[in-house]
Amino acid sequence: MRILIAEDEQRARQGLERLIVSIEGDYEVIATAANGRTALELILEKRPDLVFVDVKMPFLDGLSLIRAVRTRQVPTEFVVVSAYADFQFAQESISLEVAGYLLKPAAKEEVEAVLEKVAGRLENRHFYPVREQRRLREKYPDAHPLILRALDIIEAGYAGKISQKELAGELGLSPEYFSYLFNKNTGVTFSAFLRDYRIGQAQALYRSGSCDRKTVPYAVGFSDAKYYNKVFREITGKTPAEYLQICENNI
């Protein structure tokens, strides 16, 4: 069984890896990630059988990571690991059909049990349904089915790396035809759409105050804060600091 660990705390990440390695069986930790965005990229690249995922991580939280993977129809199993005995987290995890929900620090017996459960699931592997509100679909109800699928992927995975070429490949289209189809159905290019959507999500984060302002660029898929500031101003007519000030004044 090929396993990936997504955990932002280094000690917890290393501890879980040592624990898994100590368990007898065909278990291999093929990669680890310290944040949700890196975890998503590794999952799409390496296609692990199982991912142990922390609920609270930088850039992309654990449950959002699971939804992003489900949207891409990658048949990876998930075990949620959390320091919080939170009913809402547990309830949403169940709705995403995860294989287990473990509280930190997980005991060896608990990890062994969940690995055995996952092994049984892998024998009857299937694609999991996406159970989330698809707001972008509502904006483009008459779009081509493949473009609706692309919108699902953007909505779930905008915080991670999304390229037009890779997305076209996932949909079984050539980059050129995907570009034509996307523009025809949405009225804008793919790159412009993704840029605008990410900035819209950034504005929502500023309004809600649910994310540290310094991490907002990375939480919505930008890797360069200076470029993010430039794009934000081009789209909104304000700098992030000016927009944040307006949000604070309206509280």
Q: What are 19-45's pLDDT values in tens digits? A: 999 998 889 999 999 998 899 889 988
Q: Which of 32-41, 179-188, 204-213 has the lowest mean pLDDT?
A: 204-213
Q: Which of 47-56, 74-83, 93-102, 181-190 has the lowest mean pLDDT?
A: 93-102
- The predicted structure's pLDDT at residue 113: 92
Mind giving me the DSSP string for the chain? -EEEEE-S-HHHHHHHHHHHHHSSSS-EEEEEESSHHHHHHHHHHH--SEEEEESS-SSS-HHHHHHHHHHTT---EEEEEES---HHHHHHHHHTT-SEEEESSPPHHHHHHHHHHHHHHHTT--PPPP-S--HHHHH-TTS-HHHHHHHHHHHHHTTS---HHHHHHHTT--HHHHHHHHHHHHSS-HHHHHHHHHHHHHHHHHHHT-S-TTTHHHHTT-S-HHHHHHHHHHHHSS-HHHHHHHHHHT-
- The predicted structure's pLDDT at residue 91: 60
Given a cut of 80, is residue 71 above it in pLDDT? no
Given a cut of 90, is residue 48 above it in pLDDT? yes
> For domain 135-249, which CATH number applies: 1.10.10.60, 1.10.3470.10, 1.10.3720.10, 1.10.540.10?
1.10.10.60
Query: Which CATH superfamily is 2-122 part of?
Result: Response regulator (3.40.50.2300)
Q: Which of 13-22, 93-102, 242-251 has the lowest mean pLDDT?
A: 93-102
**Which percentage of the chain shows pLDDT scores above 70?**
89
Given a cut of 60, is residue 128 above it in pLDDT? no
Q: Average of pLDDT values for 170-185? A: 94
Of residues 118 and 124, the one with the higher pLDDT is 118
Quick: pLDDT tens for 78-93.
Answer: 999 887 665 556 566 6
Q: Average of pLDDT values for 144-159? A: 89
Residues of the chain with CATH 3.40.50.2300: 2-122
